[in-house]
Amino acid sequence: MKVAIIGCGGIANAAHIPAYMKNPEAEIVYFCDIIPERAEEAVEKYGCGKAVVDYKEVLADPEIEAVSVCTPNNVHASIAMDALRAGKNVLCEKPAARTYAEALEMQKVQHETGKILNIGVVNRFNNAVNLIKDYIDSGKLGEVYHVYISFRAHRSIPGLGGAFTTKAIAGGGALIDWGVHFLDIAMYCCGDPKPLTVSGEQFCKLGKNMEDYAYINMWSGPPKYDGTYDVDDSVTGLIRTDGPVFTVHGAWAQNINQSEMYIDFMGDKAGIRLIYGEDFTVYTAEHGALVEYKPKYNSTPHFENEINKFIECIKTGEKLPSHIDSVIITAKMMQAFYDSAEAHREIVLD
């Protein structure tokens, strides 16, 4: 299957390209980036494909069946919709888009074209996450009444002044960039409860005066001190659903001791703490004793699982859990969170 990579930056090189290279069914035919050197470097590094700067050239090639959209968030919607209309199947990185309205447009075009539109909610292909979902589905935790979401880092603002910290490009900060994964895991594991109300607050504090921001390492750096910093570097909020309540505590940077990246699923029979990107522990009580255990399971790389399933579903037509129809609800919740923060009041969802 002939595929193309649109946007040859961090995530393309760290995850998408190596996963396609490992898949015996896939052949990367184009590397596209508006920075020509990035596309050319990829051709050289991976020893395949053609470097192009305009994604429309990729879409004009009838042999291309699938594209990975690995660009900044501001062009997710336009590129994904153009690709769908050109008859391509699309794996678009998370978040689906900058706003709920953009994500709805993408979903509409997916429905019109019938081509696949999956979003890069890669945790849905993570063995630990799927095991937790099985535990919850099978009733092992009892009633899960509260999900405590913490994605708080001590100092981890990405590319200060660049695409990630510019609202017009990214759509938001810590919530849309990291929170999207955490909310997605919570929704997926809890069987996609219906969100009812959202109350959120956002703060733009530690990176606001860019020159004063102290840090050791910066991903997606270096900083551009003449750039823009107008996004949330910290959020807190509460989401009521027709299932559990989600409490959300997130930050790219906070004056805390160390990073706190986990989700607590609290059930009346047992609870689980998932350390993000790692393993999980089950906490319960048996015969009057307190018990905790860490399940051992077979773990396979989730980005590879995601790409392999994407290639496979194009052939089989299987609707994956990362389909836009399953993921759009998170875009709705994040939009409500930001709207609530702006209005300083609770938003009631329809």
Ligand X SMILES: NC(=O)c1ccc[n+]([C@@H]2O[C@H](COP(=O)([O-])OP(=O)(O)OC[C@H]3O[C@@H](n4cnc5c(N)ncnc54)[C@H](O)[C@@H]3O)[C@@H](O)[C@H]2O)c1
Residues binding ligand X (CB under 6 A): 6-12, 32-35, 38, 55, 70-73, 75, 93-94, 120, 122, 163, 177, 220
Alpha carbons 223 and 164: distance in angstroms, whole number: 11
Q: Among residues 41 and 260, whose Cβ is nearest to ligand X?
A: 41
Strand order in the sheet with 260-267: 289-293, 280-286, 270-275, 260-267, 144-152, 245-251, 234-241, 195-203, 347-348
Handedness of CA 144, 182, 237, 255 (dihedral sign): positive
Q: Among residues 13 and 247, whose Cβ is nearest to ligand X?
A: 13
Name the β-bridge partners of 202.
235
| Of residues 127, 124, 130, 11, the one with CA closest to residue 73 | 11
| Minimum distance from residue 103 beta carbon to ligand X (Å) | 13
Q: What is the DSSP letter of 286?
A: E
**Do residues 226 and 161 touch, judged by C-beta distance below 8 A?**
yes
Peptide bond before residue 244 is cis, with ω within 30 degrees of 0? no
**Do residues 183 and 334 touch, judged by C-beta distance below 8 A?**
yes
Name the β-bridge partners of 272.
265, 282
Helices and strands counted in the chain (H then E): 12, 15
Q: Among residues 144 and 176, whose Cβ is nearest to ligand X?
A: 176
Q: Among residues 75 and 347, whose Cβ is nearest to ligand X?
A: 75
| Minimum distance from residue 296 beta carbon to ligand X (Å) | 25
Q: Among residues 59 and 272, whose Cβ is nearest to ligand X?
A: 59
| Minimum distance from residue 243 beta carbon to ligand X (Å) | 25
Chain residue whose CB lies nearest ligand X: 9
Q: Among residues 38 and 152, whose Cβ is nearest to ligand X?
A: 38
**Distance (Å) of CA 221 to CA 10, 82, 157, 162, 216:** 11, 30, 9, 8, 11
| Minimum distance from residue 320 beta carbon to ligand X (Å) | 15
| Minimum distance from residue 170 beta carbon to ligand X (Å) | 8
| Minimum distance from residue 177 beta carbon to ligand X (Å) | 6
Contacts of residue 289, Cβ cutoff 8 Å, sequence gap at least 6: none
Q: Among residues 6 and 116, whose Cβ is nearest to ligand X?
A: 6
| Minimum distance from residue 12 beta carbon to ligand X (Å) | 6
**Do residues 188 and 129 touch, judged by C-beta distance below 8 A?**
yes
Element (H or E) spanning 51, and its range? strand 50-52
Q: Among residues 13 and 284, whose Cβ is nearest to ligand X?
A: 13
| Minimum distance from residue 93 beta carbon to ligand X (Å) | 4
